[in-house]
Amino acid sequence: MDLFEVYKRWDIEPVRGSGTTLWTADGQQYTDLYGGHAVISVGHCHPHYVKALTEQARELGFYSNAVQNSLQNTLAAKLGKASGYGDYSLFLCNSGAEANENALKLASFATGRAKVLAFGKAFHGRTSGAVGVTDNPKIRAPFNANPNVTFVPLNDLEAVEKELTRGTYAAVIVEGIQGVAGIYEPSDDFLRGLRNLCDKTGTLLVADEIQSGYGRTGLFYAHQHAGIRADIITSAKGMANGFPIGGVLISPAIKPAYGMLGTTFGGNHLACAAAIAVLEIMEAEHLVENAARLGVFFRKALEGNKAVAEYRGRGLMIGLELKPEYVGLRDRLLFQKHFFTGAAGEKVIRLLPSLTLSEETAQAFVNAWNELTA
Ligand SMILES: Cc1ncc(COP(=O)(O)O)c(C=O)c1O
């Protein structure tokens, strides 16, 4: 059987990893500043993570949500403490798109309203509800077109106000920083204004922190830079360092009811063990602080660089918009210098490295960049 090939793949196969280093099937060594799309938060094969997963696999890998699972409670307590959302509750699922599906469904249940406001260039996932609030008609099948969704431009508070004052919206969904679009930030003022308008109109604010969360921007969640709280926050990607998991953090004002949400695999023992280990490593190694520190390092080193038209982002969520004559640099970084990076279209290189990245490795990347652009 062939694969149903929907991906554009590099002809490279990583088979082993340690920290920010990868080794490929043909014995080559690479440095990973992409983290498999912001997923590797605590480095490849961190010893504490490997131990936690293997020990859990030996004890019990899975049982469904028909029984008690104290690993879920441990994860909720640790996540509450790390995120500053200790008064919220946690629903566990298996991916980012699924977290957003559940968040929007909950907002609709809680408000009794059907409509959702989303933003231009947003990406929230590929399942029906999530792709319905994603501003990319190319990945939306006719089945997914959702008449309940309206898009307005990011950072346009007037457009938001015009819609929300209709009083028909269950939720506004906003990325902490837009990732897939190419690293575009909602301004702090915009987020504060959004919070205000949500409060005035009884609309729930859903922060999609799937890519921007988990310490990546130098605070646990990116929207916290604006000093606001969201009503529902979605997490995935870095949450379990590659083990599939998604989480929905839910305000105490939203009450659960039997059967409202559910999943077979969500919150399983292996996923929880992996996610707990990630939070333990983040705390022990001060990784949120490291992300903030290295964000400052990269900005100093690459903002204003001759190849960079614009430096965007915060902490270790970085978008480097290339000047037209440097398009193609990402391939050269990979094939000539052995650095994995991410992209957004042809023009933007995205750095989404593990939060364990060292300054020495960051400097090695900057050196490679400077050599290729000299
Ligand atoms: C902001 C954001 N939301 C949702 C998703 C979807 O997550 P998943 O691929 O785990 O479904 C992504 C994935 O890139 C994302 O960046």
CA dihedral sign of residues 290, 295, 301, 307: positive
Does the C-beta of 208 come closer than 6 Å to ligand 1?
yes
Instruction: Give me the pLDDT at residue 89, please.
Output: 98
Name the residue of 124, 154, 206 to mutate for ligand 1: max ligand atoms within 8 A of Cβ: 124
The C-alpha atoms of residue 39 and residue 49 are separated, in whole angstroms, by: 14
- Model's pTM, two decimal places? 0.98
Instruction: Give me the pLDDT at residue 66, please.
Output: 96
Q: Which residues neighbour 13 within 8 Å (Cβ) at sequence distance 6 or greater?
A: 24, 25, 26
Q: For the chain, what is the radius of gyration of the CA atoms? A: 20
Which parts of the chain register pLDDT below 50? none
- Centroid of chain to Cα 332: 26
Closest ligand 1 atom to the C-alpha of 176? 1
Domains of the chain listed by start with CATH number: 14-47+286-373 (3.90.1150.10), 48-284 (3.40.640.10)
Residue 144 burial (10 A CB sphere; 0-12, 13-18, 19+): middle
Does the C-beta of 209 come closer than 6 Å to ligand 1?
no
* Shortest-distance Cα residue to atom 16 of ligand 1: 211
Instruction: Give me the pLDDT at residue 304, please.
Output: 93
Q: How far apart are the CA of 97 and the centre of ligand 1, in A? A: 6
Which of 283, 374, 356 is CA-nearest to residue 31?
A: 356
Q: DSSP class of residue 226?
A: G
Does the C-beta of 287 come closer than 6 Å to ligand 1?
no
Give tens-digit pLDDT for 200-242.
Answer: 999 999 999 999 999 999 999 999 999 999 999 999 999 999 9
- Centroid of chain to Cα 21: 21
Q: Which residues neighbour 145 within 8 Å (Cβ) at sequence distance 6 or greater?
A: 132
